[in-house]
Amino acid sequence: MIQAGFLLGGCLSSAATLYLSFNLHAYSWTWAFITLIPLLAIAEKSSSLRRACGIGLLVGFSFNFIELFWITNSIAGFTNLPQAVVIIVMGLLALYMALYLALFTGLWHYLRNLPPLKSSWGNIISALTTAAAWILFEDLRGSFMGGFPWHPLGLTQIDNQLFNWLLPWGGVRLLSGLIVLGNIGLYLSALALFKKRRKQAGLYAFSLLGPLLILAFLAGKTEPAKTALQRAIQTLNQATSTKIVIVQPNIPQKEKWRPENRDKIIEKMIAMTRKGLKYRPDLIVWPEAALPLLLEKEMVISNRLQELVRTEQTSLMLGGPRYIDEPQKNQPEITQKKLYNSIFLFTPDNQRQIYNKIKLVPYGEFTPLAKFFPFISKIVPGLDYSSGDKIHNFNLATGRNRNSPKKQPLKIAPSVCFEGVFPAFTARFFGAGANLLINLTNDAWFGDSPGPRQHLLNIRLRALENRCYIVRCANTGISAIINPQGEIEQQLPLNQEGLIEATITPCRQATFFAHHPDLPTIVAGFVILLSLLTIFFRRQRNG
């Protein structure tokens, strides 16, 4: 009975501290460095590998079911599913997300009970391997079946200047691995002290916690990111500024696609845009799926928007669906109809640039595994979008510098909805020369729930990783201007229409992470390979 109580208490404490670490306040980041300790202790002492995996599954399910419960708003609000089925679907999502924590605890149990690693240095190998595996698990979660990279563990450090300065160097995956390493280091050090093995405790503290302390020390000794950025802006002779207006129309999702509302929505968007023209913007930004129509099929509306930007000498960026006949790759003479979720850029010179969304929302824009399990499409119905196949930046001659009245080139990384929560994917736009990220989204699907706030929180990481401004335009909110330090400079709250006017300074140089977005994953894989080789040779030596 006592053992069962200890087990339940440890699981609840891990789930609770994990929840607290993501719900940001002044010192919530500290919870992340202890949240896994009860889990590590219970998993290590579990009687079997299966039970260790079950412990991780229980904690992961509890956390994800509570933290992501807002998704039921989308399912219940836009399907006819019974409430019981909605809860089951939510449970399946939480269970899937928990699988990765189950793999983590199972691996930790296996390594800690493996004879070749029964030594002080073996424990360090176990720690490094498990932290590296966490990085790979987060990467897998961000790619498997389309990917759902929501709430990586490194997100908990977004406001912690002791460690968030590492984001331009290794991205959020690096931070996640360091947090896991910190948890393991604290656990092993405390365990050694409890067993009165001071030398072992010192070894673990030096090898596992020492690097974290050095990184925190360096953060205090280096120039703050904000000061460095301001100094760089002052010294760059060719630094340009771009004036942008964000339009947040606040149109409820259930009203947008009603035929009787079509003309009202078009006129509302244009009227709000005309209000924003008083700021003389270089670029006006509308949200994802801004108009309830297929823009390329509605030439009257399309020509009207083109005339607006030509007359006002501004540019317009908006999201909208595309339904087009596209030639097949292997047989160009044969076409097939495809539906894309796209971004359009209208410019005064009558040029139009288009980006087709690549990272589609699983079970919202496409249905993974539907080919093998057709009944899934009936449970969670969604439109069948096609995925774009090309990363490219929008080119826009806009902005003026202090030395020349001529317009300067701007390279915009276009991003639709939750594409902005993929670290390596977004970084590739900046590796290709982008100097500004514009994310168009429609979080009206989430209702008045934690969903839009979590979405905004996750995308703030991209500003730090790429040291760039982010312009975020949302239909019902939260629209925002995020600076290169990940801070929100301006925002419009949920369920409120309005405009944001801002002057943006594009970044001038891609970060190390933008050039090497896959490096943390590669290094993690290399660490695991070395661990496997070490285990193999130790087994060979011991017979």
What per-residue confidence (pLDDT) applies to 2? 44
Residue 226 pLDDT: 47
Distance (Å, rounded) from C-alpha 275 to C-alpha 256? 22
Residues 155/461, Cβ–Cβ less than 8 Å: yes
Angle value at C-alpha 342, between 340 and 344, nearest 5 degrees? 140
The single residue listed with the structure tokens 């969304």 is 357
pLDDT of residue 250: 94
- Residue 484: what residue type? P
Instruction: Say how far apart CA 305 and CA 54 lie, in whole Å.
Output: 56
Q: What is the pLDDT of residue 406?
A: 55
> What's phi and psi for 511, nearest 5 deg?
-75, 170
**Token pair for residue 332?**
């160009």
Q: What is the pLDDT of residue 25?
A: 74
Angle ∠(264,269,270) on CA atoms, nearest 5? 100
In the chain, what are the domain boundaries?
A: 2-227+535-541, 241-507
Q: Compute the distance between CA of residue 431 and CA of residue 381 in angstroms, rounded to an integer.
A: 36
Domain 241-507 has CATH 3.30.365.10: no
In a 3-state reduction of DSSP, which class is residue 215?
A: helix
Q: What is the 3-state secondary structure (H, E, C) of 464-519?
A: HHHCCCEEEEECCCCEEEECCCCCEEEEECCCCCEEEEEEECCCCCCCHHHHCCCH
Q: Which two tokens stand for residue 223?
A: 């120039």
Per-residue pLDDT tens over the stretch 45-74 = 888 999 999 999 999 999 999 999 988 887
CB contact burial 159-187 (16+ within 10 A = b; e otherwise)? bbebbbbbbbebbbbbbbbbbbbbbbbbb
Question: What's the predicted TM-score (pTM) here?
Answer: 0.90
The confidence score (pLDDT) of residue 115 equals 83
Mark the ranges of the chain whose per-residue pLDDT is less than 70: 1-6, 26, 77-79, 220-240, 333, 369-383, 398-408, 542-543
Phi, psi of 394 (to 5 degrees): -80, 140
Q: Output the pLDDT for position 236.
A: 43
